[in-house]
Amino acid sequence: MKKSTWGLVDAFFDEYNLVDHHINSYNDFVNHRIQDIIDITESIVLEQGEYSVETGKLEIRKPFTKEADGSKSLIFPTEARLRNLTYSAHMYLDMRLIKKEEPAPDFEKVYIGELPLMLKSDICHLAGLNKKELKDKGEDPQDAGGYFIVNGSERAIVTMEEIAPNKVILERIGEIHDRRAKAIVTSIKSGFRARISLEYRKPRKTGVFLRISFPYVPGEIPLVILLRAMGLATDEEIITHISDDFNFQMIVADDIQVSEQALKIEAQEMEELSTEERREYLTKSAIKYIGNRVAKGMTEEYRIRRAEDVIDRYLLPHMGVESDKREDKATYLAEMTEMLLQVISEQREPHDKDHYTNKRLRVSGDLMEDLFRVAFTSLTRDMTYQLERSLARGKEPSVKQAVRSDVLTENIKHAIATGNWVGGRAGVSQLLDRTSYMGTLSHMRRVVSPLSRSQPHFEARDLHPTQFGKICPNETPEGPNCGLVKNLALMSKISEGSDPEEIENIIKKMGVLN
């Protein structure tokens, strides 16, 4: 038994590396996700559409350094450590400035900044070298890689644990007799996160039971109004979409009555309209209500446009950001509402947040994606400002001069160097532990929970049965971090996410879905 066990372990590590999860996810980030972020970022439009900037393919070149005399030479990790440099790759993006009513010029390669490089990733000079070649380059052949070198110091990005995205998580608030519950979805679309929260609580005096909140809409709004704005216009449609259960239908019917007062719908006015006109009137009233929330004090036309834009882009973005997805989103919210009402009436158990099915681990690639998205947005904003400035001065605008490459470089470098990430999280990247070889490997496989260290959180710190084989039951620090800082089990492997469209196509080909 002993012999075969270690044989199995050896076979596993002949195939996989201890830090594969970081390297694979970083490679995916570099090869696919950066281009996706650039493609979906809103294009720059100037002077009322007179000029626009179009972006194309991104090229990432292997690390080199510019010396004081202007000469360029390849740089290896050892040199970066010794000379306190950042081991990073140079990024070049195809861009062109298009002027209205003029033929589009050719793309030109513009240097947009540097990207800190993970050691042993695809673009690293060390990728694919054998032991002898690594020794010749001044590297330890046993070093696993998977970390960055910023200003000469080695920084590791620790894996972050979070509640599973794009999945409804149901939770009770308070005791059962309080009859309060919440359904939460963290919707993620190429790095952008939108948290949608639907809450059921007894109304104060004349309020509604079901209220929903999502990004860019201040406070909470009645669910019924949102469903109306998304195309479920009539009372009957809303009630039947949500549930067939009579008790649930009555709760929704109460909400509909109260929200009609909020929308100031006149019964007499409604009776004079045909069915189609009535639907249009109800939908428009609901959109106006949301518009008054998101763009108070603006013109009516702008309020309506802004409300529609917020619904399309920030409500469940993982389902799509096109306006024809509204009905699908309304159905999703209706399903979510029924699940919530089932929790209230004790027909369904709330989710266990500590169950590992309801969690996901975010590795280097995912965290770098968040960082790059924000950094690239600030680069496009800066470009817009530079181009507008040269237009105001009466100069001919040029893309090459408008790009200040240090905007992107400094944003990314600063985050990795300090560990202060976008979204206000601290300690995402840490100084690599070099106390011992085991210490280094342990640091690369660390998993950190976002919960605050100062509160008890007994359940979250407990060893959950579902962690078996995934998380090490012993390796966790003593003191306030106990159970919140964990480590991956020796032979656990993090699977990479895959493209949902690809899976959908395979299922369709198999004939499982019509």
pLDDT of residue 420: 94
Residue 140: which residues within 8 A CB-CB, separation 6 or more?
134
Q: CA 263 to CA 256: how far, in whole Å?
A: 10
pTM of the model: 0.87
Structure confidence by residue, pLDDT tens digits, 352-396: 999 999 999 999 999 999 999 999 999 999 999 999 999 888 888
Q: Give the residue ranges of the chain where pLDDT is below 50.
A: none
Burial of 19 (0-12, 13-18, 19+ CB in 10 A): buried
pLDDT of residue 513: 65
pLDDT of residue 277: 82
pLDDT of residue 268: 65
User: Beta 64-66 vs 108-116: how paired, if at all?
Assistant: unpaired
Structure confidence by residue, pLDDT tens digits, 100-132: 888 888 999 999 999 999 999 999 999 999 999
Q: In a 3-state reduction of DSSP, which class is residue 111?
A: strand
Measured CA to CA in angstroms, residue 389 lies from 51, 111, 147, 383 at distances of 13, 20, 40, 10
Q: CA 201 to CA 344: how far, in whole Å?
A: 9
